[in-house]
Amino acid sequence: MREQWTDSCNLLALKEGVVIGYDRNDKTIEAFKEKGFDVITATDLIEKLESGEKSPETIQNTLILMPSAELSRARGGFHCMSMPLYREKI
């Protein structure tokens, strides 16, 4: 219940098949794994990118997990925090 109403569905698609979300959503993580997605923490992914083991172009079907103890308190997620504001010029 917490995942549904708090932050589990508030993912950000970085590209087709690659999304970023909170690490505290156990049921969401399991659902992605059941669909064949790799799950990796952002810290581990950065290390693999820096070592050359992975590259942004080759990452597919991946859920990237970010720590969320503080961010999720505001009841928002990566999608909400990434949307640009377009305003008319004054």
Q: Which residues does the annotation mark as catalytic?
A: 80
Quote the tokens at residue 16. Answer: 């087709």
Q: How far is the C-alpha of 67 from the C-alpha of 90, rounded, in Å?
A: 39
User: Where do the H-state alpha helices sit in the chain?
Assistant: 2-6, 26-34, 42-51, 78-82
